[in-house]
Structure 1
Amino acid sequence: MADTPNKENVTMEVELTPEQKQAEERRILVEGTSSGLSLQLQVVDLNRNVKFLERGITASEVHYIHRALRTVSALRKRLQPEVLAEIIAAHTSPVNQQIVADCLKSILESLGQRPAENPAARSCEPEVCLFFGLLAQLHLLDSKAYERGAQLSNVLVAMMSSTQRRTLDSVVSRVFFYYSRFFEVADCLSDARPTLLGALQTATLTNMKETKAMLLTLLLRNYLHYKLYDQAERLAAKSTFPSEAPNNLLARYLYYMGRIEAIQLNYSQAQLHLLEATRKAPSNSTTAGFQQTVHKVYVIVELLMGNIPERSLFRTPVLKKPLQPYLELTQAVRIGDLSQFQDVVQRYQDKFLQDQMLVLIQRLRHNVIKAGIRSISIAYSRISLRDICLKLHLDSEEDAEYIVAKAIRDGVIDATIDHEKGFVKSAEVHNVYGTSDPQHAFDKRITFCLNLYNESVKSMRYPGGDHRKELAYADEGIKRERELAQELENEDYDDGSDMDAMDEDL
């Protein structure tokens, strides 16, 4: 019994070996150091963005504000609410305007922090306050605190309505986007419409172009969500989308316009808008969902126009799986098989309802029949109406006669109907180059090239002589930009001395 080792003592000796002690201490030290370094980097990034915003306000240069906004997506992934509350508390000064102070207080309350008075705090500009509010909106949206996010968004909108400055444009447009997003996820998007319409009128009068573009896009999405196509069309007809808007807003606007035109039976305009939307949107993994959504509508519009989309479109890796139901639908329309078309619609009905495409797909039934009649006309020089009825799975010969007559009138086929004997006689197939089809196709390509050339010349056009008065100011701005870029290249996040030097320069 004395020679038998104690199992508990062995276990304790194994757990408390020096190697494991050192490894555990090293792990705790690394985790604590990385966590502290991450919080320190967040504070440094937020302070730097505040300096960018303040410098943009002082110099009235919007590109500094854009530089601060470009870091929002990176901050969103790692920003802690305690860090944001600490930065906000440093700007909660008694000398702030009352509306700015109330907004900062609401931001802190939405983050679950208690506002504290700090007499030594710096004053806060409206742009900086809205930037803090934008970060708080993102945190609440990611935390799924939709009710608090909607309340904070209302406070931010009230502040924006009382302040109109040119430097607010970029920040205001993003705040309005998440304002509408909170109402959308809460399934009360119609409640945001009056505020968006009022803000659109204000943005138009104050010439805030980016905000106007964002509000137009949000209102079109709002109308489409409730299937108010007539109101969306009237809004688009009575307003002008700013030509200086960013490409992401332009792509979304063109997509919404394409859907509206498709519902309103303007398929040619819908095709142009959707095609332009696919070209304006960047092709990367981030915009894969947008590309898939646009191409779904584009495929249906192409089929409604009587065209067959290229097969290479369905072979694109990003689009291959989402467009599989639409590929089967295209195959059914191409061969003119009505039974196969109805089978595809029935099998993927839930998918088409989810994509909000079932209304447009139901219009394809007549296109399927026309494609079948065209194939029959090419294959048979003479065929009875009864055989056409059997091949196309129609209900009666009268329906077949009516459909064939309409196809002849629309120019789908070149044939004649013998009503007495009940058959259709196709005319001799002519050479396509003897018709006007090549001329129409060539004219369409020339028109596209000319429009592209005109847009390129317009974008490259030099301004008038007024810009010469601002050359001296522009040279100073370029010099300051180069100095700032050099400072950003030389900064070291591990040492706070370089950061303090940059703060003094700013």
Structure 2
Amino acid sequence: METTEPSIDVVESKQCLQISSRLTFIELREFLTLVEQSAVKYDPRYVLKVFRELTPLRRELDAGSLLKVIKQTVPESQTHYGNLVGALADYDDAVMDEDFSVPTPRPDIDLFLHLLVQIFLHDKKDFNRLELFNQKTVIALAQYNERTLDHIAAKIWFYVFRSKEALKDTVSIRPALQTALRTATLRHDNEIRAAAITLLLRSYLLSNDINQAYNLVEKTEFPEQVTNSVVARYYYYLARIQTIQLDYSSANECAITAIRKCPQTKSALGFLQAATKLHILIQLLTGEIPELSTFRDLALEKSLTPYLAVTRAVRLGDLNLFNDALTKYGASLKKDTNYNLVLRLRQNVIKTGIRIISLSYKKISLKDICIKLHLDSELSAEYIVAKAIKDGVIDATIEHKDGYMKSNEMLDVYSTRAPQEEFDRRIKFCMALNNDSVRAMRYPLSTNRGEIKADVDFKEREQEILQYLQEDDFF
């Protein structure tokens, strides 16, 4: 019988996979070296560098290279070895004959390998296996208590929650997160503390437990000296909670902070879209019209199409246009969990229409207002106009006997307190931006110039600071 030889394309494909796996293995070994340096030098910048460079490597991460790194790093006698290898058993058929004799790794290396396995299983969408592995990972996490593990442990908790969210069971993880939050608060562990707060808030929002989320915000103090990605998520959740509770002014500030803290990378584009959508709705609910440049951003233009239609309806005060936008983009708004917030804008559309009418007509009958705003009856128009007058939307009076609205002369806006309030708001924003910039500055570890010159690694530290100071944190 003739044996069929593999084609050239198949051979080349196998060779490319082998080369890619070899390069991935080399990069993983470099990551372990940086994690170890971070623990030895007590400098979290090395771990943050690993997180930044890990994002593009995730696409090339394979079970073979990951198993090889584990077997060359963790001894078989350690309990965690079986957990790590067992989680990847079905993803690699290759048999390794080498017998590696390695010492027990540092806790940082051990937990980082657990994190790599979590990421691999998450990207493979094997959430059931990830859930089983997370149970063992949490036990391993409880065995260590070192501050050099904070950033890695915070990422581990994120993927623990992510598996629960994928399995639609975010309630059962709350006791573990609350325990982690209590322990991190006692240990002054800011990273895990911030991660636990944000994950608990997300759990409450997913189940619409707004009161519990608000109580958590009121009874906990969020640490500010953490990575920007966690800060951005916290302020986004806080903005959503305050919007639901009708505190639009505070929600607007939180939404702006979330957008400003969001890392400017492609991996954070989804979060930037969600935060921008929420900010647009908050602006509309406060009576402001978002700038047109917001909708023209190439990275956000397509996703903001429904919100542009809603904004156009609010700006024109056209109820028919608003109802058409709800009908056309209702599914997209529900997917973004913003549909109920958009429904609140119906009153804003009516108020805008009344404001336009009051500026255009000195006198107009309630019947004509009813026709222009597409209302049900003149009685509804009279009630809505009276409410707008009471809220200060328009400056007019209603002649009930003759059935018309009479607009008063416009006052000079500079004779009111509006310019002062706007100027005060801008000053507070600039001061907060300056304070955040000062806190974000990095200083040498020692102020003694003699000790700095005697430090062998000083030049290396200086170069790394210049290189990574402009880079964003991993999201």
Alignment TM-score, normalising by the size of structure 2? 0.88
Q: Distance in 1 between matches of 2:323 and 2:10?
A: 63
Match of 1:478 among 457, 467, 473: 457
Equivalent pairs: percent with the same residue?
38
Residues 412 and 482 of structure 1, relative CA distance in 2, 3 Å threshold = closer
Q: Check if 1:112 corresponds to 2:89.
A: yes
Q: Distance in 1 between matches of 2:443 and 2:45?
A: 20
User: How far off its partner does 1:360 sit?
Assistant: 0.7
Q: Distance in 2 between matches of 1:376 and 1:484?
A: 63
Match of 2:295 among 301, 314, 322: 314
Verify the 8 A CA contact 1:161 1:199 in the aligned structure 2: no
Pairs aligned (count):
458
Q: In structure 2, what is the equivalent of residue 242 of structure 1?
A: 223
Kindly report which structure 2 residues correspond to 1:21-100, keeping only aligned pairs within 5 A, or say none. Answer: 34-93=16-75
Query: What is the SS of the residue equivalent to 2:211?
Result: helix
Residues 387 and 258 of structure 1, relative CA distance in 2, 3 Å threshold = same
Q: Deviations over 1:258-281 (max 9, x none)?
A: 111100101011111111111121
Q: Distance in 2 between matches of 1:134 and 1:116?
A: 26
Match of 2:116 among 117, 135, 138: 135
Verify the 8 A CA contact 1:374 1:413 in the aligned structure 2: yes
Residues 446 and 469 of structure 1, relative CA distance in 2, 3 Å threshold = closer
User: How far off its partner does 1:482 sit?
Assistant: 6.0
Query: What is the SS of the residue equivalent to 1:394?
Result: coil
Verify the 8 A CA contact 1:248 1:280 in the aligned structure 2: yes
Q: Distance in 1 between matches of 2:437 and 2:373?
A: 49
Query: What is the SS of the residue equivalent to 2:222?
Result: coil
Kindly report which structure 2 residues correspond to 1:186-335, keeping only aligned pairs within 5 A, or say none. Answer: 186-335=167-316
Residues 348 and 81 of structure 1, relative CA distance in 2, 3 Å threshold = same
* Paired amino acid for 1:108: V
Verify the 8 A CA contact 1:53 1:68 in the aligned structure 2: yes
User: How far off its partner does 1:31 sit?
Assistant: 5.4
Verify the 8 A CA contact 1:53 1:64 in the aligned structure 2: yes
Q: In structure 2, what is the equivalent of residue 381 of structure 1?
A: 362
User: How far off its partner does 1:147 sit?
Assistant: 0.8
Q: In structure 1, what is the equivalent of residue 417 of structure 2?
A: 436
Q: Distance in 2 between matches of 1:33 and 1:340?
A: 59
Residues 272 and 223 of structure 1, relative CA distance in 2, 3 Å threshold = same
Q: Deviations over 1:302-358 (max 9, x none)?
A: 111011111111111122221111111111111111222122112211111111111
Verify the 8 A CA contact 1:255 1:294 in the aligned structure 2: yes
Q: In structure 2, what is the equivalent of residue 346 of structure 1?
A: 327
User: How far off its partner does 1:427 sit?
Assistant: 0.6
Q: Distance in 2 between matches of 1:220 and 1:379?
A: 46
Alignment TM-score, normalising by the size of structure 1? 0.83
Q: Distance in 2 between matches of 1:394 and 1:67?
A: 59
Q: Distance in 2 between matches of 1:191 and 1:115?
A: 39
Structure 2: segments with no counterpart, 5+ residues: 465-475
* Paired amino acid for 2:141: M
Q: Deviations over 1:53-84 (max 9, x none)?
A: 33433343333433444432243222221222
User: How far off its partner does 1:474 sit?
Assistant: 8.9
Q: Distance in 1 between matches of 2:347 and 2:85?
A: 59
Verify the 8 A CA contact 1:89 1:115 in the aligned structure 2: no
Higher relative contact order (CA 8 A, sep 6+): 2
Q: Distance in 2 between matches of 1:290 and 1:309?
A: 19
Residues 126 and 351 of structure 1, relative CA distance in 2, 3 Å threshold = same
Verify the 8 A CA contact 1:57 1:167 in the aligned structure 2: yes
Q: Deviations over 1:355-386 (max 9, x none)?
A: 11111111111111111111111111111222
Residues 42 and 329 of structure 1, relative CA distance in 2, 3 Å threshold = closer
Residues 182 and 470 of structure 1, relative CA distance in 2, 3 Å threshold = farther
Q: Distance in 2 between matches of 1:93 and 1:201?
A: 33
Q: Distance in 2 between matches of 1:71 and 1:321?
A: 29
After alignment, is 54-63 or 173-182 more displaced?
54-63
After alignment, is 32-41 or 348-357 more displaced?
32-41
User: How far off its partner does 1:124 sit?
Assistant: 1.9
* Paired amino acid for 2:25: V
Q: Deviations over 1:135-169 (max 9, x none)?
A: 11111112221111111111111111221111111
Verify the 8 A CA contact 2:150 2:192 in the aligned structure 1: yes
* Paired amino acid for 1:339: N
Q: CA RMSD in A?
A: 3.0
Which has the larger Rg?
A: 1
* Paired amino acid for 2:67: A
Match of 1:368 among 341, 346, 349: 349
After alignment, is 281-290 or 343-352 more displaced?
281-290
